[in-house]
Amino acid sequence: MHKPLARLAILLSGRGSNMLALAEAVRAGVLHGLAEVAVVFSNDPAALGLDAAAALGLPTASLPSKGRKRESFDLEVVDILREYRPNYVVLAGYMRVLSPAFVRAFAGRIINIHPADTHQHQGLHAYEWAFDNRLSETKITVHLVDEGLDTGPILAQEVVNLIGADTLAEVQRRGLAVEHTLYAETLANLITGAAIPTLPTHNS
Ligand code: GRF
């Protein structure tokens, strides 16, 4: 007997390259037969990633967050997402800190990808941080989202070699290439029960 497909709600605010990689993994990669894209949602109706999702025939939804209070906006988003009955809420460049009310609504089922080791760097501009500090490597991190900023249990990490990456664009190119495979693989492991979360221990 086939298990039902895990339903993914993918949330984005920008170009959506991770969303596209996940959609491709669902179509013909590691997520094929495991997951389906229930909806691609954005807090910015003009996000390029929404158009890209629609062009693939994926269901899309949006609600502008501009000028909205965090909690009341998030509660509306929860209602919208629930219509699509997601098993996982997958953040893919979703440029919002989630309110506790949102996190509780999908507790333990919200996943994020961060372009650095979340032990070392939290929040925005992780590639800039790696480049400005001339790091020889960075560690892409996929983690469960809790109520803190990039503090949730880690599901998977992969090192990106940055030796010889002389421009920010090259740092990002190398990092995104890893993001695009690691995210789908980790979700596949989560769905099949092979990914075991580990709690981060913060330096600061
Ligand atoms: C990625 O670097 C991701 O790790 C971070 O935001 C960026 C989104 O890029 N959370 P894209 O929209 O998926 O191309």
Q: Which domains does the chain have, with CATH numbers?
A: 6-115+142-159+180-192 (3.40.50.170)
Residue nearest to atom 9 of ligand 1 (CA): 93
Say whether pLDDT at 23 is over 90. Answer: yes
Per-residue b or e along 47-69, where b marks 16 or more CB atoms closer than 10 Å to that residue's CB = bebbebbeeeebebbbeebeeee
- Only one residue has tokens 């372009």, namely 115
* Rounded-to-10 torsion of CA 97, 185, 108, 158: -60
Which of 2, 32, 114, 143 is catalytic? The answer is 114
Q: 112 φ, ψ to 5°?
A: -130, 155
Percent of the chain with pLDDT over 70: 97
pLDDT of residue 199: 60
* pLDDT score recorded for residue 204: 39
Q: Is 17 in the pocket of ligand 1 (CB under 6 A)?
A: yes
Mean pLDDT of 197-204: 56
Helix residue ranges per DSSP H, 162-203: 168-192
How many helices (H) and strands (E) are present in the chain, helices listed first? 6, 7
| 169 CA from centroid of ligand 1 (Å) | 14
Identify which of 160, 176, 180, 183 to mutate to test ligand 1's pocket (most ligand atoms within 8 A of the CB).
176
- Place 197 in a pLDDT band, splitting at 50, 70 and 90: confident
Report, as an integer, the average pLDDT of 26-36: 98
pTM of the model: 0.95
